Amino acid sequence: MPFVLSRLLTRWVLGRGWTFPVAVVLTVFVTSWPLMLLAEPVGSELVLPENYWWYFVVTATTVGYGDFSPDSTAGHFVGAYVIVGGIVTLTTVFTKLASKLELAKGRRMQGIDAVRAEAHMLLIGYTAGRTERLVTQLLADGTTGLVLCANDDTPVHPMPAQPVGFVRGEPTAVDVLLRAGVDRASTVLIDMRDDNEALAVAVTVNHANRSAHVVVTLRDMEKVELVHYVDPRIKCVQWHAPRMVAEELTSPGITEVYSELMTVGGANTYSVSLSESLGQLNTENCRIALGRAFGATVLAARAEDVLIVNPSWDSDLPAGSVIYYVGPRRLTNTEIEAVLRERRA
Q: Give the DSSP letter string of 149-196.
A: EE-TT--S-S-TTSSEEEEES-TTSHHHHHHTTGGG-SEEEE--SSHH
Residue 116 domain-assigned? no
Name 3's Cβ contacts closer than 8 Å, sequence gap at least 6.
none
In this structure, the answer to whether residues 240 and 273 fall within a common structural domain is: no
pLDDT at 266: 63
Residues 148 and 253 placed together within one structural domain of the fold = yes
Pair (147, 220) in one structural domain: yes
Distance CA 217, CA 192 (A): 8
Looking at residue 101, its pLDDT comes to 60
pLDDT at 30: 81
Is 114 inside a domain boundary?
no
- Cα–Cα distance list, 162 to 118, 123, 138, 146, 190 (Å): 18, 14, 12, 9, 20
Q: Which domain holds residue 293?
A: 268-344
| Domain final position from 262, 280, 304 | 262
Claim to verify: residue 257 and residue 274 sit in the same structural domain: no
Query: Is the same domain home to 244 and 125?
Result: yes
In a domain, residue 115? The reply is no
Q: Does residue 128 share a domain with residue 256?
A: yes
Per-residue pLDDT of the chain (345 residues; tens, 9 = 90+): 444 444 544 554 445 566 777 787 788 888 888 888 888 888 788 878 888 888 888 877 777 777 777 888 887 888 888 888 778 777 777 777 766 666 656 567 777 888 989 999 999 999 999 999 999 999 999 999 999 999 999 988 999 899 999 999 999 999 999 999 999 999 999 999 999 999 999 999 999 999 999 999 999 999 999 999 999 999 999 999 889 999 999 999 888 888 777 766 667 889 999 888 888 889 998 999 999 999 999 999 998 888 999 999 999 999 889 999 998 888 998 999 999 888 876
Give the CATH number, domain containing residue 145.
3.40.50.720
Do residue 145 and residue 222 come from a single domain?
A: yes
What is the CATH classification number for the domain harbouring 8? 1.10.287.70
Q: Do 313 and 244 fall into the same domain?
A: no
Say if residue 174 is in the same domain as residue 211: yes
**Judgement on whether residues 162 and 142 belong to the same structural domain of the protein:** yes
Same domain flag for 150 and 235: yes
Final residue of a domain: which of 53, 83, 109? Answer: 109
Total structural domains within the chain: 3
Task: Out of 58, 78, 109, pick the residue that ends a domain.
Answer: 109
